[in-house]
Each structure stands twice: as C-alpha cells, then as structure tokens.
C-alpha cells in the first residue's frame, strides 16, 4: 500500500517535486533507478528482488484503480460502451 504515514511524507516530497520527467522514457529511467538503488542498498537476493517486483506490480494496479479506471469510465459515458460489456 502506498499510503505511508503523513509524518513521513515530507522527507520525500521535495526530492520528488524536483524530478521533472518530460517523456515516458524519462519516467521509466527514474523509476528503474530508484528500484536499482534500493536493490543496491538492500542486496541482490531473491527476497529483495521479489519485494521490488511486488511493489512495482502494486504501483501499477493502484495507478490503474485510482487514475486509469475512472478516466476510462468518463470515456465510456461520453462515447458509449463496447457491445457486450455493458453493465
């Protein structure tokens, strides 16, 4: 779950705000470097690699749930649903 305690968030806000990816490749590089640095600090073993894979998967799912799905719902409402998918 990405919801760390409020008191811990300020430590991350300024560095995150200073990042300014312009393209998808930039964003991919930044996220990959964060993961690589995490593994470099924690050690390269199955548990740590699996931990990062789990986090990346959860980030993807949470982004889809919170951002993509609601956006898609607005497009369904605006343009109509796919035949057979109507609920």
User: What letters, b where the CB count within 10 A reaches 16 and e where it falls short, cover 10-34?
Assistant: eeeeeeeeeeeeeeeeeeeeeeeee
* Strand residue runs (E) in 19-80: none
Looking at residue 20, its pLDDT comes to 95
Looking at residue 1, its pLDDT comes to 60
Using DSSP's 3-state secondary structure scheme, residue 87 falls into coil
Looking at residue 13, its pLDDT comes to 94
CA distance linking residue 77 with residue 74, whole number of Å: 5
Looking at residue 3, its pLDDT comes to 83
Looking at residue 33, its pLDDT comes to 98
Report domain extents, the chain: 7-79
Which token pair is 39? 């593994």
CA angle (15 as vertex; 71, 67 as ends), nearest 5: 10
Q: Note whether 39 and 49 are within 8 A (CB).
A: yes
pLDDT in 10s for each residue of the chain, 87 residues: 678 999 999 999 999 999 999 999 999 999 999 999 999 999 999 999 999 999 999 999 999 999 999 999 999 999 999 999 987
């Amino acid at each position: 779950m990405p919801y760390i305690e409020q008191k811990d968030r300020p430590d991350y806000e300024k560095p995150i705000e200073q990042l300014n990816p312009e393209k998808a490749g930039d964003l991919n590089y930044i996220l990959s470097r964060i993961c690589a640095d995490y593994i470099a600090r924690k050690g390269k073993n199955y548990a740590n690699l699996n931990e990062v894979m789990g986090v990346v998967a959860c980030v993807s799912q949470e982004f889809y749930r919170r951002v993509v799905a609601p956006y898609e719902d607005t497009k369904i409402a605006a343009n109509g649903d796919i035949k057979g998918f109507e609920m």
